[in-house]
Amino acid sequence: MIPPASLRSVEMRGITKRFPGVTANDGVDFTAAPGEIHALLGENGAGKSTLMKILYGFYAPDAGEIRVHGTHKVWRSPGDALRAGLGMVFQQFMLVPSLSVVQNVLLALPPRGWRLDERAAASRLAAEAARYGMAVHPRAQVWQLGVGEQQRVEILKLLARGAGILILDEPTAVLTPQEAHSLFATLRRLADEGRTVIVITHKLSEVMAVSDRVTVLRAGRVVGTIPTARTSLWDLARMMVGRESFDLQDRAPVPPGPVVLEIRHLWADGDRGRDALRDVSLDVRAGEIVGVAGVAGNGQRELAEVVAGLRRPTRGRICIAGSTLAGADPRAAIRAGLGHVPEDRLGTGVAPHLSVADNLVLKRYREAAFGRGPRLDRAAVNEAARGLIEAYGIQTPSPDAPAGALSGGNLQRLILAREISAHPQALVAFHPTRGLDIAATEAVHRALLDQRPRGTGVLLISEDLDEVLQLSDRVAVLCGGRVMAVARPGDVTVEQIGLLMGGAREALSGTTA
């Protein structure tokens, strides 16, 4: 089923790329054809992103050649690839946060004179947006947008540029099921128009749902390329992992204890305007996981920030284990017994230039165990760190390595180790598994489930609906800053949750929990 040479839009032969200490790609062959959605499947670290960054001119390969529409290409920069009709949506969006949506689109358009024509770019953007049914605010600044909308801007930007070969790196990692669904519909349309769509993913169900062909990478090598119709979830899992994948362990019922996190009539403003949270009330009991589901940008970030003491509520109050928090004071929240796994691991979760060991004790270095007076007992710090590294399986060259050098999964293990080892009464986890591979996701899920018998109340805010339904004892749905409903996962269907996320409160009439 390899398309004949005349039909290949992308052809990579024998691509090898080495980084210090690791061979990311080892003699990789990859082809894609116009009109197809080609999934590039593999676990984190399998070399998918590296391969595509080579195709997009971000990295130069150490060996191998690239052909685009049959012509041999050597990129000096992504600009060359862009001019040849390629476009890539990176996992970390390549948008300038302080510029408006239109200005970001302008940056992508081929130079036409030296004057900026924002009006022309805005109408171009509006045309593309209407054509593909992707809603965006052209005048908004990018930093004000939720991730779903930022992704739409990224895609529209490349379409406005006229990209015929689109590469998307883990595009659904940040999307709700509904958003992912509409993204897939958009991708299908783009393929039907004769474009080549390459989707990097580690989600098997996505491959099955959306792709025409799939190439599986493992440890930098190609395991195989097959038409999706001729394979199954199980075959792909085996190819990707090299072993059978494991399901989550069953969860023992834990009788819920007293309320450890009490949110009452909470109102808060968002970055983009007033009243991002409207009269939110929610209880989390000891030993209970309460999930918060919702479409990106419906108040989740504000809720997490207010609870963590990072954003001042305009009305209402929060009680953690009985102590009421006033205003925005993260330290008071910590003292009251709150653990926080933030959305932005590298920026908010750790101090990237400090060592793994220092980051592990970052919340506890004031304790007597770590030194007297102003002196810090390095030996005690290192010993505690070594214990946590071991217990949480954090893969790091040494406790002294900078935290910023860890992979996403290990960074999250570090943050969980630190937060849980502080014995919190309540734990807020915001997108705890975004962008993580299967193994790291399992580890995070297990760590969250382990909080139940320990008597910690967990507030799990996530846009991954499967995750919320899988882990939570109760699920609250946020829409437009309001709690639409609170239900037990067993009592509702995914469709009902989806409707609630879209604001249709009547979807659940009669059900309470």
Partner 1 sequence: MSPAAVAVLAAAVRAGTPVLFATLGEIFAERSGVLNLGVEGMMLVGALAGFVTTVRTGHPWLGLLAAAAAGAALSLVHAVLSISLRANQIASGLALTIFGTGLSASLGRSYIGVPAAGFQPFPLPGLGDIPILGPMLFRQDALVYLSYALVAAAWYALYRTRWGLELRAVGERPEAADAMGVDVARVRYGCVAIGGVLAGVGGAYLSTAYTSMWIENMTAGRGWIAVALVIFATWDPLRAVLGAYLFGGVNALQLYLQASGTGLPVYLLLMAPYVFTMVVLVIATRGTVRRRLGTPAALSLSYSRDGG
Provide the binding-site residues for partner 1, judged by CB under 8 A: 19, 56, 58-59, 77-80, 82-83, 88, 90, 93-99, 103-104, 106-108, 111, 113-116
Residue 212: what residue type? D
452: three-class secondary structure by DSSP: helix
Q: Which is nearer to partner 1, 2 or 96 (CB)?
A: 96
Considering the complex, what minimum distance in angstroms separates the CB of residue 388 from partner 1? 28
* Closest listed residue to residue 430, CA positions, set 444, 449, 446, 443: 444
Considering the complex, what minimum distance in angstroms separates the CB of residue 123 from partner 1? 17
Residue 25: alpha-carbon gap to chain centroid = 24
Considering the complex, what minimum distance in angstroms separates the CB of residue 428 from partner 1? 25
Q: Which two tokens stand for residue 309?
A: 């003491």
Residue found by looking up tokens 């200005």 in the block: 103
- For the chain, the C-alpha Rg in angstroms (whole number) is 24
Considering the complex, what minimum distance in angstroms separates the CB of residue 326 from partner 1? 21
Q: Which is nearer to partner 1, 93 or 184 (CB)?
A: 93
| DSSP 8-state assignment for residue 6 | G
Q: Which is nearer to partner 1, 101 or 479 (CB)?
A: 101
CA separation for the pair 451, 361 (Å, rounded): 20
- Can you spell out the DSSP letters for 230-244? G--HHHHHHHHHSS-
Q: Which two tokens stand for residue 172?
A: 């659904």
> What HEC string does 255-316 produce?
CCCCEEEEEEEEEEEECCEEEEEEEEEEEEECCCEEEEECCCCCCHHHHHHHHCCCCCCCEE
Q: Which is nearer to partner 1, 78 or 270 (CB)?
A: 78
Considering the complex, what minimum distance in angstroms separates the CB of residue 103 from partner 1? 6
**CA neighbours closer than 13 Å in the CB half-sphere of residue 84:** 23
Considering the complex, what minimum distance in angstroms separates the CB of residue 17 from partner 1? 10
Q: Which is nearer to partner 1, 40 or 95 (CB)?
A: 95
Q: Which is nearer to partner 1, 14 or 97 (CB)?
A: 97
Taken in order 422, 289, 443, 466, the sign of the CA dihedral is negative
CA separation for the pair 51, 46 (Å, rounded): 10
* Closest listed residue to residue 284, CA positions, set 476, 481, 493, 467: 476
Considering the complex, what minimum distance in angstroms separates the CB of residue 58 from partner 1? 6
Q: Which is nearer to partner 1, 163 or 428 (CB)?
A: 163
- Can you spell out the DSSP letters for 119-175? HHHHHHHHHHHHHHT----TTSBGGGS-HHHHHHHHHHHHHHHT-SEEEEESGGGG-
Q: Which is nearer to partner 1, 347 or 387 (CB)?
A: 347
Considering the complex, what minimum distance in angstroms separates the CB of residue 71 from partner 1? 19
Considering the complex, what minimum distance in angstroms separates the CB of residue 94 from partner 1? 4
Considering the complex, what minimum distance in angstroms separates the CB of residue 57 from partner 1? 9
Q: Which is nearer to partner 1, 112 or 265 (CB)?
A: 112
Q: Which is nearer to partner 1, 108 or 403 (CB)?
A: 108
CA separation for the pair 295, 174 (Å, rounded): 10
472 contact partners, CB below 8 Å, separation of at least 6 = 289, 290, 291, 460, 489
Kind of pairing, strands 289-293 and 457-461?
Answer: parallel
Q: At residue 26, what are phi and psi to the nearest 5 degrees? A: -130, 95
Q: Which is nearer to partner 1, 14 or 79 (CB)?
A: 79
